Chains A and B, each alone.
Chain A
Amino acid sequence: QQQVKQSPQSLIVQKGGISIINCAYENTAFDYFPWYQQFPGKGPALLIAIRPDVSEKKEGRFTISFNKSAKQFSLHIMDSQPGDSATYFCAALNTGNQFYFGTGTSLTVIP
């Protein structure tokens, strides 16, 4: 059973556009929600993360929106650049110290 559901599976965005990736979860025991960026042949790297006590967190061009009542969170990449082309994973951490990952979104930013 997929604990964290991620969509879309792939996304193509024009340079300068906004990329939006969505995740949903069911387990209310999750209390930490990170996003990772992974380039081919590399390990994932932390991009931005949020705790459920805030509804939004922004770092540069990257913003997480968090809706606790809907149990959904999303990543917004503003002014998307070709260098942002990568696979993005959302994740959730439960109080039992275990991370659950989404299935990943392959983002392609067209110049």
Chain B
Amino acid sequence: GAVVSQHPSRVICKSGTSVKIECRSLDFQATTMFWYRQFPKQSLMLMATSNEGSKATYEQGVEKDKFLINHASLTLSTLTVTSAHPEDSSFYICSARDVQGHSYEQYFGPGTRLTVT
């Protein structure tokens, strides 16, 4: 149980285009989802927290107009990187929590490698 999927696993896009990454909880209801960014050999950097049906809460320094997050259902959250630039190239990881189930844990997706050329 507690499986989180991400799609796509890898994406290459041209500078100036937008890219959407999907995060799905497959066997539980994710009342809260998190989006992280990870640079090589570094820890996870929390970008934003989203609760189903409400606007995402962004961490300081994260541009909300550039990283659009939608958590429209209890099993799906999307991250759209708008007008991508090479510096947006990174490993993006989502995680999901079943807060209403009183679980402390968050379950991570497999990550999406974004390369902007």
In the complex, identify which listed stretch (B11-19, B62-70, B80-88, B102-110) lies at the interface while the others stay far away. B102-110
Interface residue A43 (Cβ < 8 Å from any Cβ of B) = yes
Which one of A34, A42, A103 contacts B43 once the chains associate, using CB atoms below 8 Å?
Answer: A103
Q: Are A89 and B43 in contact, with the CB atoms below 8 A?
A: yes
Q: Are A44 and B93 in contact, with the CB atoms below 8 A?
A: yes
B6 and chain A: residue at smallest CB distance? A43
Q: Are A43 and B41 in contact, with the CB atoms below 8 A?
A: no
Mask, A60-104, CB within 8 Å of B = 1, is 000000000000000000000000000001000100011101111
B112 and chain A: residue at smallest CB distance? A43
Q: Are A49 and B104 in contact, with the CB atoms below 8 A?
A: yes
Interface size, chain A (Cβ < 8 Å)? 21
Beyond A36-B108, A99-B106, 13 extra complex contacts between A and B, CB < 8 Å: A41-B91, A41-B111, A41-B113, A42-B111, A43-B6, A43-B93, A43-B95, A43-B108, A89-B43, A97-B97, A98-B49, A99-B46, A103-B43
A19 and B72 alpha carbons, distance in the complex (Å): 43
Q: Are A32 and B108 in contact, with the CB atoms below 8 A?
A: no
Complex contacts, B6 vs chain A, CB 8 Å: 43
Q: With A46-B105, A49-B104, A93-B104 as known contacts, state yes or no: A104 contacts B111, CB within 8 Å.
A: no
Interface residue B42 (Cβ < 8 Å from any Cβ of A) = yes
Complex contacts, B41 vs chain A, CB 8 Å: 104, 106
Q: Are A43 and B110 in contact, with the CB atoms below 8 A?
A: yes
Interface residue A12 (Cβ < 8 Å from any Cβ of B) = no
Interface residue B78 (Cβ < 8 Å from any Cβ of A) = no
Interface residue A54 (Cβ < 8 Å from any Cβ of B) = no
Complex contacts, A41 vs chain B, CB 8 Å: 91, 111, 113
